[in-house]
Amino acid sequence: MASNRKVMVLPGDGIGREVMQANMKIIDWLAKYRSLGFDLSEGLVGGAAYDAHGTPLTDETLADSMSADAVLFGAVGGPQYDDLAFELKPERGLLRLRKEMDLYANLRPAIVFPALVDASSLKPDLVSGLDIMILRELCGGSYFAEPRGIDVREDGSKLGYDTNAYSTPEIERIGRVGFDLARKRNGRLTSVEKSNVMHSGVLWREVMIRLHGEEGEGVELSHMYADNCAMQLVRAPKQFDVIVTDNLFGDLLSDCAAMLTGSLGMLPSASLGDIDPDTGIPAAMYEPVHGSAPDIAGKGLANPLAQFMSFSMMLRYSFGQAEEADLLEQAVSDALAVKRTGDIMTPGCEQTGTDGMTAAVIDAMDRLA
Ligand code: NAI
Ligand code: MG
């Protein structure tokens, strides 16, 4: 892998800045004790970029992000930007990055740590040991495909419509990511659509079956209708390993799976694009699922674990550092048994803030190393 691990760091706003600062301590630890170095650059995005440059993402920051091997993102937004024009809103910076980098594969793991089994909305025995991955197509389908709009009809009534269109290449590229992921995990891939009622679903299933024959060696592929998948996720989530699905179903199913794990402050994500033929590394951005949390920003209370686990996904999927990723995830798990931030607090546990939680993870890494 030809790379000196060029990472563009975009902390953003609110607690995005706080959890990113905490993440730097993990990066320092890896440099010191594992000789694992990163070539880091930092930029402004969201409200911070608007304050400095009048736009949520400058062309220069976009270019730097695209030339890096990976982007590590915090969170953007805040009430002070609510009245800005649509195109100037902090979130537009994030959406522009995703679109320009063509990050079509959104990976959302749902992992239940032993210490947090009680935080799930399901009974402990249904979720203990849960570790599934939802892979959502992010650049096509109902949110982007044409035609879409609101028309006024001859009788004066209106018609609002979107199109859930998927082409063969679009399904192939997300399907490939699915087979790769499954191969790196437990070898099981569930492809989710509604081929019983939707043409896009019929093509989706047809392409997945062909791709399985051509490049799916070592992976067990099954198919499920999206409505049944929603039901199965809350009935018996441990039956799944990797789920691959379209943009709309993925939006719903990933939020559903998220609640199995308990807290927003624990959820990481990765968004991947095409593999660079020179480096063998996919275009990639890693970010926690949560936002800038204006209600707790500046108070040192934010849970940094979603950011840490986003970083651990970077180690795994961009840089092939599975051993370090495992170490960090184990340290997160160990730290939860000792200390908790407010969002995941349960009686009997010691409450702490961002710094204390970070220190607990570092301590656990020291012990594991
Ligand atoms: P939010 O995720 O920022 O906060 C929702 C609730 O969860 C709040 O009570 C917050 O304190 C809590 N929370 C979130 N992350 C936490 C963490 N790491 N530790 C402890 N508690 C945590 O969502 P909200 O309030 O809807 O949006 C706030 C701002 O963030 C808005 O401007 C929104 O547009 C933006 N946003 C940005 C996202 C991004 O950058 N990817 C995603 C979601 C929202
Ligand atoms: Mg959603």
Which atom of ligand 1 lies at the shortest distance from residue 287's CA?
41
Q: Is residue 286 part of a domain?
A: yes
> What is the set of active-site residues?
143, 194, 227, 251, 255
User: Ligand 1 test: best mutation among 97, 292, 310, 344, most atoms within 8 Å of CB?
Assistant: 292
Q: Whole-angstrom Cα distance, residue 147 to residue 186? A: 39
Residues 245 and 139 in one domain: yes
Residues 312 and 196 in one domain: no
Residues 165 and 252 in one domain: yes
Residues 238 and 291 in one domain: no
Among residues 215, 242, 259, which one ends one of the domains? 259
Per-residue pLDDT at 4:
86
User: Ligand 1 test: best mutation among 290, 305, 351, 352, most atoms within 8 Å of CB?
Assistant: 290
- Residue ranges of the binding site for substrate: 98, 108, 136, 227
Residues 43 and 71 in one domain: yes
Residues 153 and 243 in one domain: yes
Residues 177 and 224 in one domain: yes
Residue 156 sits in a domain whose CATH number is: 3.40.718.10
Q: Ligand 1: residues within 6 Å at CB?
A: 15, 75-78, 91, 94, 264-265, 287, 290-296, 302-303, 306, 341, 343
pLDDT per residue of the chain (369 residues) written in tens, 0 to 9? 445 899 999 999 999 999 999 999 999 999 999 999 999 999 999 999 999 999 999 999 999 999 999 999 999 999 999 999 989 999 999 999 998 999 999 999 999 999 898 888 899 999 999 999 999 999 999 988 999 999 999 999 999 999 999 999 999 999 999 999 999 899 999 999 999 999 999 999 999 999 999 999 999 999 999 999 999 999 999 999 999 999 999 999 998 998 898 778 899 999 999 999 988 899 999 999 999 999 999 999 999 999 999 999 999 999 999 999 999 999 999 999 999 999 988 888 899 999 999 999 999 999 999
- Rounded distance from Cα 215 to ligand 2 centre (Å): 31
Residues 308 and 323 in one domain: yes
Q: Whole-angstrom Cα distance, residue 217 to residue 219? A: 6
Q: Is residue 47 part of a domain?
A: yes
Residues 252 and 268 in one domain: no
pTM above 0.90, yes or no: yes
Q: Is residue 114 part of a domain?
A: no
Q: For 274-308, what is each residue's pLDDT tens digit?
A: 999 988 899 999 999 999 999 999 999 999 999 99
Considering only CA atoms, which residue is closest to atom 11 of ligand 1?
293
Provide the greatest CA pair distance for the chain.
Answer: 72
Residues 195 and 274 in one domain: no
ipTM higher than the 0.85 cut? yes
Considering only CA atoms, which residue is closest to atom 31 of ligand 1?
77
Three-state SS letters, the chain: CCCCCEEEEEEECCHHHHHHHHHHHHHHHHHHHHCCCCEEEECCCCHHHHHHHCCCCCHHHHHHHHHCCEEEEEECCCHHHCCCCHHHCHHHHHHHHHHHCCCCEEEEEEECCHHHHHHCCCCHHHHCCCEEEEEEECCCHHHCCCCCEEEECCCCCEEEECCCCCCHHHHHHHHHHHHHHHHHCCCEEEEEECCCCCHHHHHHHHHHHHHHHHHCCCCEEEEEEHHHHHHHHHHCHHHCCEEEECHHHHHHHHHHHHHCCCCHHHCEEEEEEEECCCCCCEEEEEEECCCCCCCCCCCCCCCCHHHHHHHHHHHHHCCCCHHHHHHHHHHHHHHHCCEECHHHCCCCCEECCHHHHHHHHHHHHHHHC
Considering only CA atoms, which residue is closest to atom 33 of ligand 1?
77
Considering only CA atoms, which residue is closest to atom 27 of ligand 1?
291
Among residues 259, 288, 306, which one ends one of the domains? 259
Q: For 33-56, what is each residue's pLDDT tens digit?
A: 999 999 999 999 999 999 999 999
Q: How far is C-alpha 332 from the chain's CA centre? A: 17
Burial of 146: CB neighbours in 10 Å, binned 0-12, 13-18, 19+? exposed
- Rounded distance from Cα 81 to ligand 1 centre (Å): 14
Q: Is residue 311 part of a domain?
A: yes
- Residue ranges of the binding site: 78-91, 98, 108, 136, 227, 251, 255, 291-303
User: Ligand 1 test: best mutation among 264, 267, 269, 345, most atoms within 8 Å of CB?
Assistant: 264
Q: How many structural domains comprise the chain?
A: 2
Q: Is residue 357 part of a domain?
A: yes
Peptide bond into 147 cis (omega under 30): yes
Phi and psi torsions of 21, nearest 5°: -60, -40
Q: Whole-angstrom Cα distance, residue 135 to residue 139? A: 13
Residue 275: domain span: 1-105+264-369
